[in-house]
Homo-oligomer: A and B are copies of this chain.
Amino acid sequence: MTRRVTSFDVAARAGVSQSAVSRVFSGASASKATVEKVREAAEALGYRPNVLARSLITGRSRIIGMVVAYLGNPFYPDALERFSREFQDEGYHTLVFTLPEGAEDTDTDRIIQQMLDHQVDGIVLASVGLGDALAARCEAAGIPVVLFNRGQEGSGLAQVTSANRVGGAKVADFLVAGGHTRIGHVAGWQGSSTGRDRTEGFVARLVELGQDCVGVEDGRYDHAEAVRVTDVLLDKGVDALFVGNDHMAFAVMDHLRCTLDLSVPNDVSVVGYDDVPMAAFAAYDLTTVRQPVGRMVKATVEALINQIEDKSAHAEVTEIDGPLILRGSARRPEGME
């Protein structure tokens, strides 16, 4: 294994000083002639700048810390893949941090320390399940943070979500227009902003339309829990269910159809939230509100990089609207294609 080739080697061969080489590769000013000589020598020697040394001295690692929790919900892998691509295209890289199951404060602290240790330039918190404490600590550490698919009121943190309240309202409009009169809601986890917002927008619009929600039960973004509370709502005689995300909606549909032998949408209409790829599978054919992952990711990346490169850029709150995707799991209003 031969020694690494350094900027000194290149300098020697090109007949210039090491700093000249450094300047060429870090984009500082240099004369045409030197740039040429250095490029040539570097090419010949196979030189590449040492990222570690560079980071050490500039204090910028070009690494983004990405904290994820439940990749079981297919919305997140999709997002993660896009994040990785986008960051790569911007010259950054993605260091993944996974929070253990029952994340304690001590775990949170460890994760943060590790991110600080690696001197990440920015952090994406990509999961509704992440506690407020984590976000607060990241902020306190002076590293730019963007919350993805998660809000936190009054925190002053940058955040990107879909228009959850509006989305909830769209579902209310749709179900009422479809002639449903006993509408229930398997809510997303009420400890999360997405869960609360969707519920809030949904219930508020129902009331505006002169209906009362027959029941709201927290499904906690969990399969088993969603099934359990579905039974509770069925006891109240619902004819339509708005479920807080697609992942739970699948469980609810399975339960209705396979366990209880009910028909969806004839006996009960089901509407989800997210529009994960699986929602389009024929077995579910789920009517749902689309979260525009692509645009959400782009907005997040942009916001984060802005903060990193221009420290004065202040935190922005972005909400991206998504359409209701009409499929077969919910009865459609007359004449609506």
Q: Which residues of A contact B (CB under 8 A)?
A: 1, 48-53, 55-56, 61, 63, 66, 68, 71-72, 74, 76-78, 80-81, 84-85, 88, 93-98, 100, 113-114, 116-119, 142, 250-251, 253-255, 257-259, 277-278, 281-285
Chain B positions within 8 Å of A117 at CB level: 48-51
Q: Which of B56, B61, B95 contacts A93 (CB 8 A)?
A: B95
Q: What CA separation (Å) do A93 and B67 show in the bound complex?
A: 12
Chain B positions within 8 Å of A88 at CB level: 97-98, 114
Q: What CA separation (Å) do A263 and B145 show in the bound complex?
A: 51
Task: Please state if A71 and B61 are interface contacts (CB–CB under 8 Å).
Answer: no
Task: Please state if B283 and A259 are interface contacts (CB–CB under 8 Å).
Answer: no
Task: Please state if A72 and B277 are interface contacts (CB–CB under 8 Å).
Answer: yes
Task: Please state if A84 and B56 are interface contacts (CB–CB under 8 Å).
Answer: no
5 tightest A-B contacts by CB? A258-B282, A77-B77, A254-B282, A84-B98, A71-B77
Q: Which of B63, B78, B80, B283 contacts A284 (CB 8 A)?
A: B283
Q: What CA separation (Å) do A1 and B81 show in the bound complex?
A: 34
The 9 sampled A-B contact pairs (Cβ below 8 Å) are A48-B113, A51-B118, A52-B119, A66-B96, A72-B77, A77-B77, A93-B97, A253-B283, A254-B283
Task: Please state if B250 and A283 are interface contacts (CB–CB under 8 Å).
Answer: yes
Q: What CA separation (Å) do A111 and B29 show in the bound complex?
A: 28
- Closest Cβ of chain B to A325, distance in Å, is 17
Q: What CA separation (Å) do A148 and B84 show in the bound complex?
A: 20
Task: Please state if A98 and B71 are interface contacts (CB–CB under 8 Å).
Answer: no
Shortest Cβ distance from A51 into B: residue: B117
Chain B positions within 8 Å of A56 at CB level: 50, 52-53, 56
- Closest Cβ of chain B to A247, distance in Å, is 10
Chain B positions within 8 Å of A284 at CB level: 283
Instruction: Please judge, given known A-B contacts A80-B71, A277-B72, whether A114 and B85 are in contact too, CB under 8 Å.
Output: no
Chain B positions within 8 Å of A76 at CB level: 77
Chain B positions within 8 Å of A95 at CB level: 63, 93-96
Instruction: Please judge, given known A-B contacts A118-B93, A255-B282, A277-B72, whether A81 and B52 are in contact too, CB under 8 Å.
Output: no
